[in-house]
Amino acid sequence: MASSMRGLTQFIADIRACRVKELEEKRINKEMANIRRQFKDPQLSSYQRKKYVSKLIFVYILGYKVDVGHFEAANLVTSNKYTEKQIGYLAMTLMLHEHSELLLMVVNSIKKDLEENNEYNNCLALHAIANVGSNEMAETLGPSVHRLLISPTSPNFVKKKAALTLLRLYRKYPEVLPVAEWAQRIVSIMDDEDLGVVVSVTSLVMAMAQDNLDAFSVCYQKAVDRLHKLIIDREYAATYSYYRIPTPWLQVKLLRLLQYYPPSMDPTVLDVLQKVIKAILNNSVEVASNVQQNNAQNAILFEAIGLAIHLDASSAMVTDAAELLARFISSKETNVRYLGLDTMAHLAARSDSLYSIKQHQATIINSLRDKDVSVRRRALDLLYSMCDTDNAEIIVGELLRYLKVADYGLREEMVLKIAISTEKFATSYKWYIDTILQLISSAGDHVGEEVWYRVVQITTNTDNLQEYASRAVFEHLRQPQCHESLVKVGGYILGEYGHLVANEPGLSPIEQFQALHSKSPYCSAPTRALLLTTYIKWVNVFPEIKDHLVNVFERYRYVLDAELQQRACEYYALATRPQEELLQQMCEEMPPFPPRGSALLNRLNKKHTDTEDGRVWIIGGKEANEDQFRKGRKATVDTNVTGANGAAATSGGGPDLMSLADLDLNGPTGLMAAKPVLNSSPSIDKWYEKLCMSNDGILYEDNAIQMGVKSEYHGHLGRIALYVGNKMSVPLTAFTASVTGYNPDAVSLTFAKIPSNTIHPKTQAQHVIHIESKKPFEGAPILMISYLAGSLTSINIQLPLLVTKFFEGVTLTQADFFERWKLIGGAPREAQVVFPITLDASGGVDLVKNKKILTGHGFSLLLDVDPNPLNLVGAGVLHTSAAGKVGCLLRLEPNKVAKLCRLTVRSTSEEVAAQVMQAMQKPLSKNSAL
Amino acid sequence: MIRFILVQNRQGKTRLSKWYAPFDDDEKVRIRGEVHRLIAPRDQKHQSNFVEYRNYKVVYRRYAGLFFCLCVDSNDNELAYLEAIHLFVEVLDSFFENVCELDLVFNFYKVYAILDEVFLAGEIEETSKEVVLARLEELEKLE
């Protein structure tokens, strides 16, 4: 690192000694002049250059403009000395913007440092890209950064920095990097021994996995496994203990990563995860006296509660957690109160029942008066989330009361939340209108346009609300003080529905007109324009005040505002036409608005879109969150745009753009996982076929590993023990095994334990898979193995698990056989195929082989059914847990002369018949006996 | 992710600023002022270490006369970042042997180098104090 530079220290001391700004500027100008002069000297030593560039950096940090030295900094970057290079890079990254053209000068130097076999220079180059990485750098340097990340020879520091540099490039320019292709290799680094590397690469995985859930799915298992190691096995290097807590940052990241995925279906993984969360909850019982330890512990605790809620909001674990939260929200520590309220809002967002939260309603309402605005805000969010029809009147009432004294920064959001809750949970129309009008009149300036659009929209669409709304809004208009938003609501509602109440005392047309028109002078032009529209509507329904109204139009014909003038002229002409048909047609009652999403919600959700780590829940009740998830996280931005357009359309009754709101701009979110590409070779096929008919044997072998299988089946249950041997003299790391390509409703496969991620040299690891056949299933599942030994190797092969594994032979007499054979009948419950066969060495049908195949697939041979000794007849029954037993009969009729063979399978299940036929045809047609 | 890191004294003079999201120079000046006005008047005893700022939130902690502020996404784990600040401060404290404001001023280039060992691209990079300090010692020896 740069050793001290005396000239620089002196310069800084000089500047600190300047007591007034002018002196400081003078000193800096003097120095800048000196530096300019020095830079002209071709003999300038590299030490001098470093010193002057350092001074420039200091001047820049002080906030002065620096327009020299870029070239010198670029020059320093190419230096052979670390300290000079470091200052050069610092100057580049601090003083240049990522779009600066000057950066192009250094791209080549960065590339050189990146590819050099010198870890310190690698790191400096990575820092530079991580700080100012541009689009161009992503394209030209992205692959090199990726190489440094995955290279087995990269030191830990290079790996960490490469991971985060890649993260920066990914966040800026995701399309430049082939992420799906890199996924498996990147995830495998989560098994690295160095926890610094793991925490960095986990950040990278978190960002990439959010957009590529399937490609990164293995990270789920890795995260669970790592948490188990840290929390339960307490397996970690001592230096990673932070106040006795194992690397809290990594734990928090892993717990968050798991929330990006839907809860795992694998009972083994889920079981481990539950143990982990339980252990975290238990650890929190003991409150540490040390602040750091306490904070670190709580950081993990709150994240774990979040995960528990995500997994199942109605689990016993969450009930326990809710009790903890209840204690937290009245804690003495402000941070804990804040986080308690925040997490409770998460619970409210997901929970089916708000009961446990409502018990603490009083405490939460009190938190609106907390000393800290941050806590008040959380209380507001929680109240909004826990609002329902039962408590809406109380909560909204409290919020309205609090609104008058609330922080200015909070008011706009409060107004939105009050408006939404009022609309959503109103038990009577009267209450809705009263509350909303009170809200508009008391919050005044903080009421966004969306709020009053929504009132109009709801009133228009609800027939029996219109009279009451007219009366209520008129009452507000009669007050001497009346906010402009209220005038707008009044203008619209009285214009449309004023005539409904015009016969009531005190509400006559002239009184309505006077109430509204007296507010006009204090209103802005758009509001006055709206009032003109109200007046033309009144010309139609209130002929008795037509003169007053025409008078107004008359006067407005001469105002300067173009919009007002035009409206006035048009309305004047319309009102003074002798025939009234046109007027009547134009002033027809507004048709109801088509149903649409609330613009208020869109407005509120907009707040939460600017985040790199996707939100796993939003403020609001369960319903709001379900909507959110259906849309998918990325969708929020798009829907906001359409929502905003839609809101604008409500105001003037212009062309209806609302149909846009229904457009789904996002397409299907759940991408189907692409089927993995199978490894294939004649040996793999041979091993597989052999295992289809026997329970034990070799499954796969190459230079590095060998895999064998031992299996057993009883009824509908089965068990495969998979032996993986490491043949090399180096350990296999980041080992992962998973099974895919099957329908989990028909057959379940679970590993008894999460496979250990290391296999030591010349040793064997055993992994047990439990299997249950629930219904007849198709094909064979795919076993996916991957491991790291220098580079990442992945092997995808079929697991010899066909439906026939769950067959048991049955013995039938000839009569029984034919009775059942006929009972089942032909297609579709019969599958039949004729295929060529090769004869054995002696030119005959290989009867021994055929028998072996039949019995290998679980059929009993029925010897006395068919008189032709070459023909074979078999019967078996398939065991399943959900679909019960399925019988299956089979006839095999080879024809020596034609070298053909006919296979007929009949079963009470069409699916089984077809599957059995498919499973047996291939081995039967082969020549060599297996 | 961390949007930016600011270290400011009680007068609002910024001693360290690191930006992980692009802001232009004028915006940076504005943010420095806004964050100072937001944080400095807050009560140390009765108020939390978190405060909302624009669409993000600032997690901060005061050490003697210096405020260490991290601006993070609104859904990030507050306490994890609060302790990340402490980790960084502990590293500075060991490295400068009882760090004070002047160390940050006179050794600004070292502070940036230390920062790059603890945080990178807006994320925490190394969580072990010992590992960072050993690395810094190694780098000090390079010419």
What CATH number should be reported for the domain holding residue A720? Answer: 2.60.40.1230
Chain B, nearest residue to A169 by Cα: B121
Residue A7 C-alpha, separation from nearest chain B C-alpha, in angstroms? 12
How many contacts (CB atoms, under 8 Å) link A and B? 175
Query: Does A625 fall in a domain?
Result: yes
Quick check: B75 and A335 CB within 8 A?
no
CA-nearest residue to A253 within chain B is B77
Beta-carbon separation of B55 and A157 below 8 A:
no
Number of structural domains found in chain A: 4
Contact criterion met (CB < 8 Å) for B79 and A335? yes
The pLDDT tens digits of the residues spanning A754-810 come to 888 899 999 999 999 999 999 999 889 999 999 988 888 999 999 999 999 999 999
- The tens digit of pLDDT for each residue in A15-42 reads 999 989 999 999 999 999 999 999 999 8
Under an 8 A CB cutoff, do A57 and B108 touch? yes
Residue A419 lies in a domain: no
Do A783 and A645 share a structural domain? Answer: yes
Q: What percent of chain A has pLDDT over 90?
A: 61
Q: Which residues of chain B have pLDDT under 50?
A: none
Give the pair of three-digit tokens for residue A649: 């359309």
The pair phi, psi for residue B18, each rounded to 5°, is -135, 130
Q: Is A6 annotated as a binding residue?
A: yes
d(CA A862, CA A820): 14
- Collapsing DSSP to helix, strand or coil, A759 comes out as strand
CB contact under 8 A, B73 and A612: yes
* CATH number of the domain residue A812 falls in: 3.30.310.10
Q: Which residues of chain A make contact with B101, given a CB cutoff of 8 A? A: none
Round to whole Å and give the CA distance between B18 and B88: 14
Q: How far apart are CA A238 and CA A248, in angstroms?
A: 13
Which among A94, A237, A296 is the nearest to B83, CB-wise? A296
Nearest to A9 among B106, B126, B129 (CB): B106
- Least confidently predicted of A125-129, A143-147, A368-372, A622-626: A622-626
Does residue A700 share a domain with residue A615? Answer: no
Rounded to an integer, the average pLDDT of A670-686 is 73
Instruction: Find residue A726's DSSP bridge partners.
Output: A705
Third-level CATH fold of B2-142: Beta-Lactamase (3.30.450)
Identify all chain A residues contacting B39, using CB atoms and an 8 Å cutoff.
none
Chain B residues closer than 8 Å to A203 by CB: 123-124
Co-location of A661 and A776 in the same domain: yes
CB-based contacts of B90, cutoff 8 Å, min separation 6: B129
Higher pLDDT: A724 or A136? It is A724
Nearest partner of A722 among A696, A761, A744, A741, judged by Cα: A696
pLDDT at A675 over 70: no
Asked if B124 lies within 8 A of A161 by C-beta distance, the reply is no
Lowest-pLDDT range, A132-141, A657-666, A756-765?
A657-666
Which residues of B fall within a CB distance of 8 Å from A299?
77-80, 82-83
CA A210, chain centre distance (Å): 5
> Would the CB atoms of B127 and A302 count as touching at under 8 Å?
no
A831 and A712 belong to one structural domain: no
- Measured between CB atoms, which of B46, B51, B83 is closest to A371? B46
Alpha carbon of A188 to those of A62, A191, A269: distances in Å?
44, 6, 18
pLDDT exceeds 90 at position A630: no
Residues A793 and A820 reside in one and the same domain? no
Whether pLDDT at A98 is above 60: yes
**Domain extent for A454:** 429-586
A436 lies in the same domain as A581: yes
ipTM of the complex as predicted: 0.98
- How far is Cα A726 from Cα A763, in angstroms, rounded to an integer? 6
Question: Which of these ranges, A205-209, A618-622, A697-701, has the smallest mean pLDDT?
Answer: A618-622
- Looking at beta carbons, which residues of chain A come within 8 Å of B106? 9, 12
Domain extents for chain B? 2-142
Nearest chain B alpha carbon to A82: B143
Domain end position, chosen among A596, A620, A638 = A638
Q: Do B135 and A58 touch (CB under 8 A)?
A: no
pLDDT of residue A655: 36
Is the Cβ–Cβ distance between A595 and A462 less than 8 Å? no
pLDDT in tens, A870-886: 899 999 999 999 989 99
Q: What is the mean pLDDT of chain A?
A: 88
- Residue A220 forms part of a structural domain: no
**From CA A922, how far away is CA A388, in angstroms rounded?**
63
Task: State the smallest CA–CA distance between residue B83 and chain A in angstroms.
Answer: 7
Residue A582 falls inside a structural domain = yes
Q: Is A55 marked as binding a ligand?
A: yes
Using CB atoms, pick whichever of A54, A249, A298 lies closest to residue B109: A54
- Is A239 within 8 Å of B46 when comparing Cβ atoms? no
Residue in A794, A801, A814, A813 with CA at minimum distance from that of residue A772: A801
Assess whether A351 and A473 both reside in one domain.
Answer: no
Residues A559 and A457 in one domain: yes
Distance from CA of B107 to the nearest CA of A (A): 8
Q: Which residues of B touch A50 (CB under 8 A)?
A: none
Contact B125 A196 (CB under 8 A): yes
pLDDT tens digits for range A315-328: 999 999 999 999 99
Which residue is listed with tokens 């449309």? A496
Q: Which of A771, A801, A831 is the last residue of a domain?
A: A801
Beta-carbon contacts of A131 under 8 Å, excluding residues fewer than 6 positions away, are: A93
* A4, A196, A295 member nearest B79 (Cβ): A295
Cβ-based contacts of A375 with chain B (< 8 Å): 48
DSSP labels, A763-809: -EEEEEEEEEE-S---S--EEEEEEEESEEEEEEEE-S--GGGGEEE
- Token pair recorded at residue A592: 């109801």
Q: Once rounded to an integer, what is the mean pLDDT over residues A129-154?
A: 91
Q: How far apart are CA A513 and CA A645, in angstroms?
A: 32
* Distance (Å) from the alpha carbon of A483 to chain B's nearest alpha carbon: 28
CA distance A248 to chain B (A): 7
Averaged over A354-362, what is the pLDDT?
A: 92
Lowest mean pLDDT segment, chosen from A275-284, A379-388, A840-849, A851-860 = A840-849
Residue among B57, B82, B120 with most chain A CBs within 10 A, to mutate:
B120
Contacts of B50 in chain A (CB under 8 A): 335, 338, 374
Residues B122, A57: C-beta atoms closer than 8 Å: no
- A164 and B84 in contact by Cβ < 8 A? no
**Are A630 and A686 part of one and the same domain?**
no
Indicate whether A568 pLDDT > 90. Answer: yes
Q: Please list every residue in chain B whose beta carbon sits closer than 8 Å to the beta carbon of residue A200.
A: 120, 123, 125-126
Residues of A in contact with B27 (CB under 8 A): none
pLDDT at residue A629, rounded to an integer: 53
Neighbours of A921 (CB within 10 A): 16
Contacts of B120 in chain A (CB under 8 A): 126-127, 130, 160-161, 164-165, 200
Tokens of A176: 């430049």
Residue A221's Cβ-side half-sphere holds a number of Cα atoms within 13 Å equal to 24
The distance of B98 to chain A (nearest Cα, Å) reads 18
Would you say A47 is a known binding-site residue? yes
Instruction: Determine whether the interchain pair A335/B48 forms a contact, defined as Cβ–Cβ distance below 8 Å.
Output: yes
CATH number at residue A631: 1.25.10.10
- Chain A positions touching B84 (Cβ under 8 A) are 249
Match 């009432």 to its residue by tokens.
Answer: A397
Report CB contact under 8 Å: A120, B142. Answer: yes
Please report whether residue A75 resides in a domain: no
Element (H, E) at B17: strand B14-19
| Yes or no, beta carbons of A295 and B73 under 8 Å apart | no
Whether B46 and A610 lie within 8 Å, measured CB to CB: no
Tell me the pLDDT band of A607, cut-offs 50, 70 and 90. Answer: low
Here the tokens at position A738 are 């998973």
Which residues of chain A lie closer than 8 angstroms to B129, CB-CB?
239
With a cut of 70, say whether residue A636 has pLDDT above it: no
Q: Which of A57, A167, A292 sits opposite B109 (nearest CB)?
A: A57
Quote the DSSP letter at residue B73: E
Distance from the Cα of A230 to chain B's closest Cα (Å) equals 14
Return d(Cα A365, Cα A722) in angstroms, integer.
58
Residue A54 assigned ligand-binding role = yes
Q: Do B125 and A200 touch (CB under 8 A)?
A: yes
Same domain assignment for residues A631 and A648? no
Q: How far apart are the first and last CA of chain A?
A: 70
Does A929 score more than 80 pLDDT? no
> Which residues in B lie closer than 8 A to residue A372 (C-beta atoms)?
42-43, 46-48
Question: In the prediction, which pLDDT does A671 show?
Answer: 36
Amino acid identity of A491?
G
Rounded to a whole number of angstroms, the distance from the CA of B90 to the nearest CA of chain A is 11
Reduced to 3 states, what is the DSSP secondary structure of residue A709?
A: strand
Q: Is A470 helix (H, G, I), strand (E, B) or coil?
A: helix
Q: Which of A160, A607, A612 is the closest to B126 by Cβ?
A: A160
**A115 vs A99: which has the higher pLDDT:** A115
Assess whether A615 and A764 both reside in one domain: no
Write down which residue in A769, A801, A833 finishes a domain. Answer: A801
Same domain, A908 and A817: yes
